[in-house]
Amino acid sequence: MSSINEAGLQPPYPLHSSIKDKLDPAYVSFYNAHIFDKQQVHLQPVSASRTSGILIPGGGPKLPVGKTEDIQIQRKETEGPDVSIRVFTPEGERPVDGWPVMVYYHGGGWVLGNIETENTVCTNLCKRAGCVVISVDYRLAPEDPYPAAIHDSWEALLWLQSTGFSLLNLNPSKVAIGGSSAGGNLAAIMCHKALSSPSLVPKFKTQLLIVPVTDNTASPSSTPSWKENELSPALPAEKMMWYRRHYLPDEKTWAEPEASPLLYEDGWGEQPKALVVVGELDVLRSEGQEYAEKLKRNGVEADLKVMKGMPHPFLAMDGVLQQGRDTITFMVEALKEVFA
């Protein structure tokens, strides 16, 4: 694969000639002002990327909520340290039948990001959809590669069913799940995994999958959007492979359904309704589209939205991109519909 940078391995990184004229002008303007002179994540040590500050610049402000609380939960089925979650509770009086709840998994390629990363999204969902939001701080690769993130994501659901509903005064009949990028991958996997343990974890009303990774076997030679957007900013194919190799160091695991939920063979007709949002200029676009289409073919309602002119990180850039703000609104509306 070619590097996104036509000049070399060090900044600046001008937008590649194959993609720059396709990008939304608002993104181009922000990129040229704030991003092009910063070192690329996949061209420096993981530790440097984790300590460099904001994961993706351009995010909007957090919204005020009634309460934010961090909780450590003990494991029931897997080995490892306690799992950290952050609970956002709306302002105002709790509904008589308990708060609706959204379980959310952040992005960052299973390598970057933490419980702070998507507080803007979480507070928007909490305040605007009137639901409790539980953000899961799953372990990261390369220190804790696959399936550590799967185990942590699952433990959060086991805790919710056994303890969380009563502890947080939640409504067990109004539960949603979702996430962005790597978090969208985890959310989709949890929906499939839940089918094998229907009494141990909640039943989901909807899944919100934003720029999700659904096929870790995808490549420029096999997948249209990987070829078209190989040198797209923010997540060029080379960078996606960097994430994949950290999280899935054993290539034999790439096609396992708990790494690539698009490759599950069964259970598609039992999936919850879905909102799937992808970027037109994202390498992950095709696999997100295929995931939504597979749900539809199996009789599941799936609302697919393609954000024009957008590379991968538009959700996290809601402070400067209308498409990011629109995506948060799509998520809020989807939650309000199923929680009504």
pLDDT in tens, 145-204: 999 999 999 999 999 999 999 999 999 999 999 999 999 999 999 999 999 999 999 999
Whether 119 contacts 315, CB under 8 Å: no
Q: Hey, what domains does the chain have and what are their CATH numbers?
A: 25-35+57-339 (3.40.50.1820)
- By C-alpha distance, which of 235, 99, 254 is closest to 180? 235
Handedness of CA 276, 137, 101, 336 (dihedral sign): negative
Q: Which residues are identified as catalytic?
A: 181, 282, 312
For residue 154, the SS3 value is helix
pLDDT above 90 as % of the chain: 94
pLDDT tens digit sequence for 103-148: 999 999 999 999 999 999 999 999 999 999 999 999 999 999 999 9
90 pLDDT higher than 50: yes
User: Which pLDDT score, from 0 to 100, does residue 111 have?
Assistant: 98
DSSP assignment of 259-297: T-GGG--S-GGGSPEEEEEEETT-TTHHHHHHHHHHHHH
Mean of pLDDT values over 243-272: 98
Q: Tokens in use for 244?
A: 């994949």
User: Which pLDDT score, from 0 to 100, does residue 4 have?
Assistant: 43
pLDDT tens digit sequence for 281-340: 999 999 999 999 999 999 999 999 999 999 999 999 999 999 999 999 999 999 999 999
74 pLDDT higher than 60: yes
One-letter amino acid of 94: R
Rg, C-alpha atoms of the chain? 19
pLDDT tens digit sequence for 224-242: 999 999 999 999 999 999 9
Query: Who's near 294: CB < 8 A, 6+ residues apart?
Result: 262, 268
User: Which pLDDT score, from 0 to 100, does residue 8 have?
Assistant: 59
Q: Tokens in use for 322?
A: 């209308």
- By C-alpha distance, which of 109, 123, 105 is closest to 50? 109
- C-alpha dist (Å) from residue 275 to 60, 155, 203, 272, 331: 22, 24, 17, 10, 8
Q: What is the distance of C-alpha 53 from the center of its chain?
A: 19
pTM: 0.97
